[in-house]
Amino acid sequence: MKTFGLAILGLLASVADATLQIVPGATWTATNTGQHIQAHGGGMLKVGEKWYWVGEDKTNGTAFTNVNCYSSTNLVEWQFEGALLSRTASGDTGPSRVIERPKVIYNKKTNKYVLWMHIDSSNYGEAKIGVATGDTVCGKYTYLRSERPLGFESRDSGTFVDDDGKAYLLTEDRQHGTRIDSLSDDYLTVQKNVYVWKEKYEAPAIAKKNGVYFMFASQLSGWDPNDNYYSTATSLSGPWSGWKKFADSGSKTYSSQTTFIVPVGDQFMYMGDRWVSSNLMRSTYIWLPLKLDGTTATMKNSINWVPDASSGSMTAGPSENSYEGESATLSGGAKSVSCSGCSGSKAAGYVGGSTSGAVLFSNAQSSATTRTTLRIKHMNGDSSQRFADVTVNGKTQKVAFLPNGGSDPGSSVVHVDLKQGSNEVRIVTSGTWGPDVDRVLVPQS
């Protein structure tokens, strides 16, 4: 009876988790900082039951400040754990330096985490690779050195660990072509070249399925996106196939650039960056299900989708009820404002301020009692984040709202416990200004 009860509980827990959504391109607020996640150009690894996402902190622009680490159990709700490396007074990690595309791999023999990254001067003249090690995945790392691998220029970089534990550095040599170099057994030294593509692509990432290696990379167009490509082989030393597109042609990889491919269960998730070069901290993350089948890779765009962090199943997002900000109960100084890009050409404006303008949706309907994701469509014309306290059924979270840019509202996601029937959603800011609220999208089931 007891076992039976636990089994039911386990089942309920997985059902309750099942509707948390990944919303590509939205503001993703870290659960414990109230700020948009800063882990650009990143990679991911699983340690035990937890996922760790390591990437660049772009809070203050291009110059290196931190290589950040976040953790999650479900790939949707991310907690800031700390920085693996932070700016020092001088040297490779000093002021006005460039550190990009940090990737962590775990070495079973030495029991160390090894971080490889692009190291450069502010004018990108050095073109080097750097390496650091850590004893714990999200702890402080010791920076070892930088170099040009095997004497060649190295810009965008990536890593790949094969099934046999052998690790490889993927490196962009803009003079001769993108290459794969093998690493020593301790992963700390670049050993020898394995393959060179004549194409000079960047943002390299490798995935392997059923003995087929898939190399993903982007063309060179600076911070602007382009149609990214992939090449396949049954051996890392080749022969590699010609390059093909995997996302819809002309979509510029849904306005993103590859950074990493994560194996989740027996499936794969694409991680890309949608860079905003004028204000890098507001770059967002484009994560989508990536289908690898034989020697073919395909990826479709999605507004929202639901990952299962253990099985790897990736399913379409739920249908949603939409509630307009201007039709909600507005209090303090909050009032309806015109907004050409918003649904109904209106939004709830003057949220926050000295009167703590607030937007209350008192009857947001759902047919399920579940932990899930709300999308708040919003406007923020500033160049920095705005914030609001979002209270759902009495539980409050600080949520960030990135500048939306242009006339289309941006999305910010908030992960909440909904109940069947009527739910209360309140959005308020005190003192400063919050976002204008176009509408809130609430999962139906």
Residues that bind ligand NAG (CB under 6 A): 57, 59-60, 65-66
Residue recorded with tokens 């953790």: 71
Give the residue with the Cβ less far from ligand NAG, 59 or 336.
Answer: 59
Angle (CA) 157-163-168 rounded to 5° is: 25
The minimum distance between CB 39 and ligand NAG, in angstroms, equals 12
Give the separation between CA 161 and CA 164, rounded to whole angstroms: 8
Closer to ligand NAG at the Cβ: 96 or 345?
A: 96
Alpha helices in 321-379 (DSSP H): none
Nearer CB in complex with ligand NAG: 59/343: 59
Which residue's CB is nearer to ligand NAG, number 57 or number 324? 57
The residue among 68 and 373 lying less far from ligand NAG, judged by its C-beta, is 68
Q: How far is the CB of 93 from ligand NAG (least distance, A)?
A: 13
344 φ, ψ (degrees, to nearest 5)? 70, 10
- Give the shortest CB-433-to-ligand NAG separation in angstroms: 20
Cα Rg of the chain, angstroms: 22
The nearest distance, CB 65 to ligand NAG, in angstroms, is 4
17 exposed, middle or buried (CB, 10 Å; 0-12, 13-18, 19+)? buried
| Residue placing its CB nearer to ligand NAG in the complex, 59 or 226 | 59
CA distance 167 to 183: 6
Tokens (6 digits) for 246: 């995997």
Shortest reach from residue 281's CB to ligand NAG, in Å: 9
Shortest spacing between CB 85 and ligand NAG, in angstroms: 12
Distance between CA atoms of residues 101 and 155, nearest Å: 9
- Biggest alpha carbon–alpha carbon distance for the chain: 68
Report how far apart, in Å, the C-alpha atoms of 146 and of each of 126, 130, 133 are. Answer: 10, 4, 13
DSSP annotation of 433 reads B
CB-based contacts of 123, cutoff 8 Å, min separation 6: none
CB 258, CB 216: distance < 8 Å: yes
Q: Would you say how long the chain is, in residues? A: 445
**Which CB sits closer to ligand NAG, 65 or 171?**
65
Least Å distance, CB 219 to ligand NAG, is 31
Query: Could you tell me the smallest distance in angstroms from the CB atom of residue 59 to ligand NAG?
Result: 4
Report the residue number, 16 or 63, with the smaller CB distance to ligand NAG: 63
Token reading at 48: 């035990």
Instruction: List the helix and strand counts (H, then E) for the chain.
Output: 2, 34
**Residue whose entry in the numeric block shows the structure tokens 């209270």:** 391
Q: State the pairing for strand pair 50-56/40-47.
A: antiparallel
Q: Which is nearer to ligand NAG, 65 or 267 (CB)?
A: 65
Q: Running DSSP on this structure, what letter comes out for residue 15? A: H
Q: In a 10 Å sphere around its CB, with 0-12 CB exposed, 13-18 middle and 19+ buried, how is residue 369 labelled?
A: middle
- Give me the least distance between CB of 66 and ligand NAG, in Å please: 6
Q: How far is the CB of 61 from ligand NAG (least distance, A)?
A: 9
Report how far Cα 325 is from the mean position of its chain's Cα atoms: 28
Instruction: Record the tokens describing residue 333, joined without a space.
Output: 């100084």
59 or 191: CB nearest ligand NAG: 59
| Residue 48, phi-psi category: left (phi > 0), alpha (psi -120 to 50), beta (remainder) | left
Shortest reach from residue 58's CB to ligand NAG, in Å? 9
Spell out a b/e string for 76-114, using b for 16 or more CB atoms within 10 Å of the CB, else e: bbbbbbebbbebeeeebbeeebbbbbbbbbbbeeeebbb
Question: Between residues 212 and 276, which has the closer beta carbon with respect to ligand NAG?
Answer: 276
For residue 57, the minimal CB distance to ligand NAG (Å) is: 5
Q: Which is nearer to ligand NAG, 100 or 181 (CB)?
A: 100
Q: At 263, give phi and psi (nearest 5°).
A: -75, 125
